[in-house]
Chains A and B, each alone.
Chain A
């Protein structure tokens, strides 16, 4: 009983710092790409509420969305958002890490965040589906 509770406390703190570190590293890398002129738009990751219907075994109960805002200075087309979303989803390592750290929704938004696209992360990781069943 004590061991289990202790473990939960430890993992809560560890996950929290890992989540923040991941978001920070992503943003640093995106900023560097933009400054060097390698990317025409700046991506900015943040934590959002997520979609409750996308929950899985590792989901956090609140703030389980990984949101990426894209700053281009113009309106993004749906195809562009889908391309960026799929680029992220094709990186298996990142998806696995996101899922294990409690994220369940990937959101891609334009600059003013009036509309965007979202994906269920668990759909892109087969092992999680096995754990859920």
Chain B
């Protein structure tokens, strides 16, 4: 049935700009990662709460203060993305010497 429908669409189909755009988005977003939301929303909330304390620029002086400022900005932008938060955590450990339990 699906094959017949797509044959008809290819044969007689006229695609407006809107429909073309829609098709592009549908193919680009075919593999939406639901696990990033359903599995990780709580983890990212917890990790963000820890990181915002550990990376606060007021805790550091000199060059470390600059690094902390940058990390804090990154933290604000990526606060809902668990994978990015893990990268910030690694950076904080390496650049600021922050320790996490």
Binding site for B on A (CB under 8 A): 2-4, 6-7, 10-11, 13, 18, 22, 25-26, 29-30, 32-33, 36, 38-41, 43, 57-58, 83-84, 86-91, 93-94, 96-97, 99-100, 127, 131
Chain B contacts with A in 1-58, Cβ cutoff 8 A:
5, 8-9, 12-15, 18-19, 21-22, 25-26, 28-29, 32-45
Interfacial chain B residues near A13, Cβ < 8 Å: 5
Decide: A43 and B38 in contact? CB cutoff 8 A: yes
Q: What DSSP secondary structure best describes chain B's contact surface?
A: helix
Do most interface residues of chain A lie in helix, strand or loop, or is the interface mixed?
Answer: helix
Assess whether B38 is in contact with A3, with CB atoms less than 8 Å apart.
no
**Is B81 on the interface with A (CB-CB < 8 A)?**
yes
- Name B residues whose Cβ lies closer than 8 Å to a Cβ of A: 5, 8-9, 12-15, 18-19, 21-22, 25-26, 28-29, 32-45, 80-81
B69 to chain A, nearest CB (A): 22
Contacts of B37 in A (CB 8 A): 26, 29, 43, 87-88, 91, 94
- Is the pair A29, B18 in contact by a Cβ cutoff of 8 Å? no
A122: shortest Cβ distance to chain B, in Å? Answer: 13
Known contacts A57-B18, A58-B18: A94-B38 contact under CB 8 Å? no
Pairs across A and B, CB under 8 Å, 23 listed: A3-B12, A3-B13, A7-B19, A10-B13, A18-B26, A30-B38, A32-B38, A33-B39, A38-B39, A40-B42, A83-B45, A84-B41, A86-B80, A87-B37, A88-B37, A90-B81, A91-B36, A93-B29, A94-B29, A96-B28, A97-B32, A100-B22, A131-B21
